[in-house]
């Protein structure tokens, strides 16, 4: 049991502790409390000073923002004022010229004619030199033909006419020896492009085309004995010494609408949106590979907007003074010919839809080739000669559609088809043609290879002696870019398959190879080259079964950009003749003692090396 004295000890100890604290505080505790308060007050002062500084910075930022807003508002007002002035100037070009002259007068500037011309005139230049090696059927390609008479070719020296489709081998010996030739082509173009004013532009392009050595060092020398008796060499003169206006036209712009342009004069007309595998120009093109090219004397209207485009043209292909087609007399005894009686005209309309199919262009085309010359000729497939009353004018209507573009990023495609109806030299004409091109580019693979496939089809005439003509009319295309580089094919009576591989080892170098397989669609019709001239055709005296296999072609080509304005291109092609050619050329019924003999080897080689300088 605890005593009462022990219960009071803890309480006594507590009071003693409180007393000790009181005595300590009385002795020195006041000084300690004063120091803590002073330190706290200094911290509060510093905090207040920092707060005032932040408030000052905030007020400064607000002033800067206000000044920036005021400056931006002033800029907007100034921009609006300038925009209004620009619109007023565009509406009144004469006021702009007056203001410009006034400023020059105030500053004492003397007008500089050369500076004015530099602002309005642009000069262009092209020099293209190409060396070519050819033999056999490629040499037959250059045999001259007269475009006035569709079913005939003309002797390049005598001017006599021969029917298309006989053997036109390139030697007079008749011995059938292989023929080889090396030559150099040279083409120079110089153009002037001038903006006369806002509504008028002029473009003039002068062209000189020639073969090296033909002039024999004397300007203008035509050399009738060039190449001896070899007709094909003389035919090459057709591409030589041609100083001419390749293009010369004026553009009348914004006449009724800012999107409308009228072009009048000699001009290139190119139809067909290009893709990596299909350059277009299957019906209307410039044929730039030729040493001369294709241009049209035409009037053309073009309406172009972001979503669609419309164009139409009318061209005169030939204006002839001939009156009597059966005798080809230049001046009839009975008087002057009727106006436009023998002209050949071309009309065309195209609608381009740019947004109808995603990443693609749709082109709707209409063409009319109207040749009023009635030609006397042998009816195709027979030995019967008929006059102009039976073999009348050429009047061919063509309706076509082309869709070209990309599916996603790596896949490109082009699809084109045409239907034709009309009259063809006394026969009712109805024909069609189709083409398909597909390609896939491996962008993430080294050298970015593109693999492509192409299919071309156009039926031929099953019975050329009938009143129906079903061979497709290819109009005025660039067939060198299509159907093989040797230029032995066109879009007429053909079934063609092509496989292509193209690579880009560097940004300046591209290389590609094409493999072609050709069949004639109808063996009763003929074989037509790139110029649409019939090289061979089956006759009634030929064997019935000659097959459809026309041949195969392999093309190798490479292009390298040496500098910004200098490029080099080279290539080699070989054509392997098929049974259609072998059987027809082996038949004596095709030969004519008055005509050149055929080749002992029907295969054909062709190669080239080209230098192009342009700016």
Q: Are residues 201 and 254 in the same domain?
A: yes
Q: Are residues 56 and 201 in the same domain?
A: no
Residue 11 lies in a domain: no
pLDDT digits (tens, 9 = 90+) for 303-334: 999 999 999 999 998 876 544 444 444 444 44
* CATH code of 154's domain: 2.40.160.100
The structural domain count of the chain equals: 2
Residue 9 lies in a domain: no
Q: Are residues 333 and 422 in the same domain?
A: yes
Residue 189 lies in a domain: yes
For the chain, give the longest Cα–Cα distance. Answer: 171
Q: Are residues 146 and 250 in the same domain?
A: yes
pLDDT digits (tens, 9 = 90+) for 19-77: 655 555 555 555 555 667 788 778 788 888 888 888 888 888 888 888 888 888 888 88
Per-position b or e across 373-405, b if 16+ CB within 10 A of its CB: bbbbbbbbbeeeeeebeebbbbbbbbebebbbb
pLDDT digits (tens, 9 = 90+) for 389-429: 445 678 999 999 999 999 988 999 999 999 999 999 888 99
Domain edge (last residue) among 77, 94, 111:
111
Helical (H) or strand (E) element with 233: helix 231-235
Residue 205 lies in a domain: yes
Domain edge (last residue) among 90, 111, 132:
111
> What mean pLDDT is predicted for residues 252-270?
92
Residue 244 lies in a domain: yes
- Binning pLDDT at 50, 70 and 90, where does residue 154 land? very low
The domain in which residue 580 lies consists of 118-614
- The reply to whether the predicted model has a pTM over 0.85 is no
Segment 437-441 long-range contacts (CB within 8 Å, at least 24 positions apart): 437/275, 437/277, 437/278, 437/412, 437/413, 438/277, 438/411, 438/412, 438/413, 439/275, 439/276, 439/277, 439/411, 439/412, 439/413, 439/500, 440/410, 440/411, 440/412, 441/276, 441/410, 441/412
Q: Are residues 67 and 152 in the same domain?
A: no
Q: Are residues 123 and 106 in the same domain?
A: no
Q: Are residues 76 and 184 in the same domain?
A: no
Q: Are residues 188 and 274 in the same domain?
A: yes
Q: Residue 104: its pLDDT value, please? A: 67
Q: Are residues 52 and 135 in the same domain?
A: no
Q: Residue 204: its pLDDT value, please? A: 96
Residue 24 lies in a domain: no
Domain edge (last residue) among 82, 111, 140:
111
* Mean pLDDT across the chain: 77
Q: Are residues 43 and 167 in the same domain?
A: no
Distance from CA of residue 452 to its chain's centroid? 18
Residue 264 lies in a domain: yes
Q: Are residues 39 and 163 in the same domain?
A: no
Does residue 171 contact residue 597 with C-beta atoms inside 8 Å? yes
Strands (E) across 355-475 are located at: 360-371, 377-378, 385-386, 394-407, 411-424, 427-441, 450-458, 468-469
pLDDT at position 161 over 70: no
Residue 258 lies in a domain: yes
Q: Are residues 85 and 123 in the same domain?
A: no
Q: Residue 213: its pLDDT value, please? A: 80
């Amino acid at each position: 049991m605890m005593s009462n004295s022990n219960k009071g000890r803890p309480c006594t100890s507590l009071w003693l502790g409180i007393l000790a604290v009181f005595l300590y505080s009385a002795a020195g505790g006041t000084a300690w409390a004063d120091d803590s308060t002073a330190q706290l007050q200094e911290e509060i002062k510093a905090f207040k000073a920092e707060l005032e500084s932040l408030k000052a910075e905030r007020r400064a930022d607000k002033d800067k923002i206000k000044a920036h807003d005021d400056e931006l508002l002033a800029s907007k007002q100034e921009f609006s004022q300038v925009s209004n002035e620009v619109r007023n100037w565009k509406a009144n070009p004469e006021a702009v010229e007056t203001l410009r002259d006034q400023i020059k007068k105030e500053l004492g500037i003397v007008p500089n004619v050369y500076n004015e011309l530099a602002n309005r005139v642009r000069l262009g230049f092209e020099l293209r030199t190409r060396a070519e090696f050819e033999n056999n059927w490629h040499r037959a390609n250059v045999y001259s033909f007269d475009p006035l008479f569709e079913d005939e070719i003309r002797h390049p020296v005598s001017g006599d006419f021969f029917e298309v489709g006989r053997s036109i081998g390139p030697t007079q010996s008749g011995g059938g020896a292989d023929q080889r030739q090396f030559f150099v082509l040279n083409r120079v173009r110089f153009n002037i492009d001038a903006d006369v004013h806002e509504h008028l532009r002029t473009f003039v392009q002068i062209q000189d085309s020639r073969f090296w050595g033909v002039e024999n060092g004397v300007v203008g020398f035509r050399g009738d004995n060039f190449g001896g008796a070899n007709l094909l060499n003389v035919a090459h003169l057709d591409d030589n010494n041609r100083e001419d206006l390749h293009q010369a036209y004026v553009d009348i712009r914004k006449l009724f609408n800012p999107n409308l342009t009228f072009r009048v004069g000699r001009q290139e007309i190119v139809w067909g949106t290009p893709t990596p595998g299909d350059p277009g120009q299957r019906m209307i093109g410039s044929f730039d590979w030729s040493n001369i090219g294709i241009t049209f004397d035409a009037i053309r209207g073009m309406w172009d907007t972001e979503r669609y485009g419309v164009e139409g043209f009318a061209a005169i292909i030939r204006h002839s003074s001939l009156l009597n087609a059966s005798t080809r007399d230049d001046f009839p005894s009975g008087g002057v010919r009727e106006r436009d009686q023998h002209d050949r005209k071309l009309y065309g309309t195209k609608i381009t839809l740019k947004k109808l199919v995603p990443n693609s262009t749709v082109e709707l085309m209409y063409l009319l080739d109207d040749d009023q010359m009635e030609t006397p000729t042998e009816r195709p497939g027979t030995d019967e000669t008929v006059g102009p009353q039976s073999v009348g004018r050429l009047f061919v209507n063509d309706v076509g559609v082309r869709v070209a573009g990309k599916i996603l990023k790596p896949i490109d495609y082009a699809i084109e088809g045409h239907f034709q109806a009309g009259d063809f030299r006394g026969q009712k004409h109805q024909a069609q043609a189709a083409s398909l091109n597909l390609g896939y580019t491996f962008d993430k693979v080294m050298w970015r290879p593109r693999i492509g496939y192409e299919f071309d089809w156009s039926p031929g005439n099953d019975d050329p002696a009938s009143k129906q003509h079903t061979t497709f009319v290819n109009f005025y295309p660039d067939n060198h870019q299509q159907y093989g580089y040797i230029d032995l094919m066109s879009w007429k009576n053909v079934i063609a398959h092509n496989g292509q591989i193209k690579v880009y080892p560097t940004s300046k170098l591209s290389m590609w190879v094409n493999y072609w397989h050709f069949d004639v669609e109808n063996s009763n019709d003929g074989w037509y080259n790139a110029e649409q001239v019939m090289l061979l055709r089956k006759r009634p005296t030929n064997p019935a079964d000659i097959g459809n296999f026309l041949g195969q072609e392999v093309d190798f080509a490479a292009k390298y950009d040496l500098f910004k304005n200098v490029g080099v291109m080279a290539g080699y092609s070989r054509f392997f003749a098929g049974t259609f050619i072998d059987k027809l050329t082996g038949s004596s019924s095709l030969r004519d003692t008055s005509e050149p003999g055929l080749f002992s080897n029907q295969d054909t080689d062709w190669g080239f090396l080209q230098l192009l300088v342009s700016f």
